[in-house]
Structure 1
Amino acid sequence: MTTEGVIILIWSATLLLALGITIVAVSMIVRIVLAAREVDRLLKETLPAAGGIAANTAAIMELEAVVAAAGPLLEGTAAIGRAAAGIHEKVGRVGRLLAGEARP
């Protein structure tokens, strides 16, 4: 084989190798672009839901204020219950007195 034949053989082999590497690289780029498009599509679907979740969970920050107010409200409810029981007892006594029962 002549020097010129060896050069053509090396050049052809290198050209075929570069073609193979280019085909592999292009197929990887195509897959990356398709995956990026899928991520973008999923992002467009998910973004409104994420906004809704953020809006719906914003009230969680207010729970501490509700818990802080619950203690005094519970005490007030207990006081109202005691007052209502006292009123009920006194009204019952008045009713019995009016009905003629002498027992106070």
Structure 2
Amino acid sequence: MLEIKSNGTDWNAPVQPIHTLIKKLEQKPLDPVYEGMGNFIIKYRNENQTDNPRYVGCTHFLGHFATIPYVFNVITNEKVVIEELTKAIRMNQERIDYEQLRRNIFSY
């Protein structure tokens, strides 16, 4: 199952394909505020973690970018998609510009 609720310039914009999100993750930093909301990746292991039983066993990717208007909200149980998005998000969090943004947000 692959459900793309949002993947584009805003939450209601036409949905872009996953490879567009991966390309954006290579180019621009994510907004570190999402570290406090599941760190961009939420695994639904049981019924208590989601209000939709069909999402049990799925991984939820959500967040937005810090410097461009682009948001994503993707739920899937497809192993390849999970691996690719997880790797791209974690690599994004290693970017120098992401770390600078993170320091600015969490330095209060």
Settle same-fold status: TM greater than 0.5: no
Larger relative contact order (CA 8 Å, sep ≥ 6): 2
Which is helix-richer, 1 or 2? 1
Which is strand-richer, 1 or 2? 2
Q: With structure 1 as the length reference, what TM-score do the two structures score? A: 0.22
